[in-house]
Amino acid sequence: MRVLEVASEAVPFAKTGGLADVAGALPEALARLGCEVTLVLPAYREALAKGLPIEPTGLEFEVPLGTRRPVARILRCRLPGSAVTTLLVANDEFFDRQALYGGAEDYPDNAQRFIFFSRAAIELACRQAAPFDIIHCHDWQTGLVPAYQKILYHAAPAVARARTVMTIHNMAYQGLFWHWDMLLTGLDWRYFNWQQMEFHQQLNLLKTGLVFADALTTVSPTYAREIQQAPGGRGLEGLLAARAATLSGIVNGIDTTAWNPATDPHIPRPYGEQDVGEGKYAARVALAARLGHAAPDARPLVAFVGRLAEQKGVDLVVELIGRMAGTGRAHFVVLGTGDPAAEESLRRVAAAFPGTVDVVIGFDEGLAHLVQAAADIVLVPSRFEPCGLTQLYAQRYGAIPVVRATGGLVDTVVDATPEAIREGRATGFTFGACEAGALVHAVERALDAHADRGLWLSFVATAMRQDWSWDTSAREYLRVFERSLAFPPTA
């Protein structure tokens, strides 16, 4: 099966979020299952500065963009460590910038940039020697690709018989633009209607992909259900419910090479299930030194690692620490960056409880690994979470996650109910209400369990045995691709 993966970012070329992790890992996992995969990305300044062996192909072509015809130059590289060909679409006007999408505010010409990229991707597909079976598109930045394939390129031999699959990574980001940007797409105005490309008088690129793609996926089964009703669907719940038969939820995998306590270069002592206690103690000693303490705290370590954003429930974390730091039951560590007000709130609570609360503002990949290895409990109290990776990393490192029961979190963490404990399935603690009191109760449950050494070690062992590798996820994607090819394309 020949698969074309089209994404706006991918590790190691360029990254702003989890989309890049998926687009960087899934192609290689599909290749291991026998697919012939090509990945197409924009040639951002960040990608070209990474020192990767990117070379020109000599292929250049004009891309219709309203009344203009800017040129796409095609570069080539291999996805590092794999046989996956990566083609990068270069145009300095659109992609030679400091950030991928903008800084504090989005770039005002993002519609032009990703209309150009989507049209260039389908033009590039048409210039390949062999036809593609699947064109897999990720998020709003590629939402026009299924529409182009159905409307303008339906007779092009390289893509005419392909099936398009659209993956939603986060419904909060839909690619909403001025209605006059429709002129840039080259598509007839008749498609700018409430059933196809229009959303409250705006051009909606994610909606376009959801309408025209043959199959839809998102990044967890629960999120797939949540987005079919308000508020999860962010206004598109009717469309998604109507297409429920074509919508699948597939949990993201993690890079089990980079996130492996048995081989992780960021931690002082490799460990596995059999010597998790020794490994975690060594990590606690190293973390204490990094944080300026003479010795590790004997109390359970409760950690939060991630973006300091409302979505991630950071306000609940601040209130939790304020309520619990004075009880002496736990030591708290927070690592992250984001909302300035949240950062300041965390600094204040850390100053109020020195020796009990450590806050590191910023992000350090090595320190993130060390915190996961040292932690007993990891907090993921998200208001909504399409999939989530932190709880998967935590389980891999024998840290028990406390998560809100939403999206991918509820799909990947088994709450420590009496029944789950008896059956040996418990891997964490969940709570429902999006309020600090519910989080405090869940953490207290976890701390009570931690006091029972045998019970806690059974949780740790079960968590560390979970398989969250990309090979598992890729098999699910392959089944979606095979089902898509078994049915006629969407009209």
Between CA 291 and CA 360 the distance in angstroms is: 9
pTM for this model (two decimals)? 0.93
Name the E strands within 99-252. 134-138, 163-168, 176-177, 198-199, 202-204, 215-218, 247-249
Pull the structure tokens for residue 336. Answer: 């992250």
Q: Which residues contact 437 (CB under 8 A, 6 or more apart)?
A: none
Residues 446 and 476 in one domain: no
- The closest of 279, 305, 318 to 364, measured between CA atoms, is 305
Closest CA to 358 of 296, 403, 277, 309: 296
How far is it, in rounded angstroms, from Cα 455 to Cα 197? 53
Residue 262 domain-assigned (yes or no): no
Task: Classify residue 163: in a domain, yes or no.
Answer: yes
| Neighbouring C-beta atoms of residue 235, cutoff 10 Å | 15
Q: Is 124:6 a contact under the CB 8 Å cutoff? A: no
SS3 10: strand
Q: What's the pLDDT score for residue 458?
A: 97
Q: For residue 277, is it within any domain? A: yes
Q: 239-242 contacts: CB < 8 A, separation 24 or more?
A: 239/207, 239/210, 239/211, 240/210, 240/216
Torsional sign, CA 187, 191, 194, 197: negative
Neighbours of 253 (CB within 10 A): 23
Place of tokens 């890049």: 20
Tally of CB atoms within 10 A around 51? 6
Picking from 381, 377, 384, the residue whose alpha carbon sits closest to that of residue 435 is 381
Each residue's pLDDT expressed in tens, for the chain with a length of 491 residues: 999 999 999 999 999 888 998 999 999 999 999 999 999 999 999 999 999 999 999 999 999 999 999 999 999 999 888 889 999 999 999 999 999 999 879 999 999 999 999 999 999 999 998 999 999 999 999 999 999 999 999 999 999 999 999 999 999 999 999 999 999 999 999 999 999 999 999 999 999 999 999 999 999 999 999 999 999 999 999 999 999 999 999 999 999 999 999 999 999 999 999 999 999 999 999 999 999 999 999 999 999 999 999 999 999 999 999 999 999 999 999 999 999 999 999 999 999 999 999 999 998 989 999 999 999 999 999 999 999 999 999 999 999 999 999 999 999 999 999 999 999 999 999 999 999 999 999 999 999 999 999 999 999 999 999 999 999 999 999 999 999 999 888 76
Tell me the three state secondary structure of residue 379.
Answer: strand
Instruction: Evaluate whether residue 268 is within a structural domain.
Output: no
- Of the candidates 468, 474, 368, which has an alpha carbon nearest to the alpha carbon of residue 408? 468
Q: What is the pLDDT of residue 490?
A: 76
109 and 215 co-located in one domain: yes
Tell me: do 477 and 447 sit in the same domain: no
Residues 144, 203 share a domain: yes
278 & 401 share domain: yes
- For CA atoms 375, 381, 382, 388, the dihedral sign is positive
- In 79-141, at which residue ranges do the beta strands (DSSP E only) sit? 85-90, 134-138
313 and 245 co-located in one domain: no
Collapsing DSSP states into helix, strand and coil, what is residue 294? coil
pLDDT value of position 452: 97
- pLDDT of 442 reads 98
Whether 259 is covered by a domain: the verdict is no
Are the beta carbons of 386 and 223 closer than 8 angstroms? yes
Asked if residue 440 and residue 479 are part of one domain, the reply reads no
From 12, 137, 118, select the one nearest 72 (Cα to Cα): 118
| Residues composing the chain | 491
Look up the domain containing 304 and give its range.
Answer: 273-467
Q: Which two tokens stand for residue 463?
A: 């968590």
Q: Are 219 and 17 in contact (CB under 8 A)?
A: no
Domain count, the chain: 2
* Residue 375 and residue 428 in one domain: yes
Cβ–Cβ < 8 Å for 308, 336:
yes
- Let me know if residue 178 belongs to a domain: yes
Domain match, 208 and 96 both = yes
Quote the distance between the C-alpha of residue 289 and its chain's center: 31
Distances (CA, A) of 286 to 50, 259, 265, 373, 379: 30, 18, 13, 10, 21
Is 205 found in the same domain as 96?
yes
Is 164 domain-assigned?
A: yes
Q: Same domain for 62 and 117?
A: yes
According to DSSP, residue 180 is labeled G
- Residue by residue, DSSP assigns 66-93 as TTB-PEEEEEEEEPTTSS-EEEEEE-HH
Instruction: Check if the beta carbon of residue 210 is closer than 8 Å to that of residue 169.
Output: no
Assess if residue 263 is contained within a domain.
no
Nearest to 212 by CA among 269, 162, 267: 162
Answer yes or no: do 277 and 380 share one domain.
yes
Q: Give the per-residue pLDDT at 83.
A: 87
Q: 20: domain CATH number?
A: 3.40.50.2000
SS3 165: strand
Answer whether 377's CB lies under 8 Å from 308's CB.
Answer: no
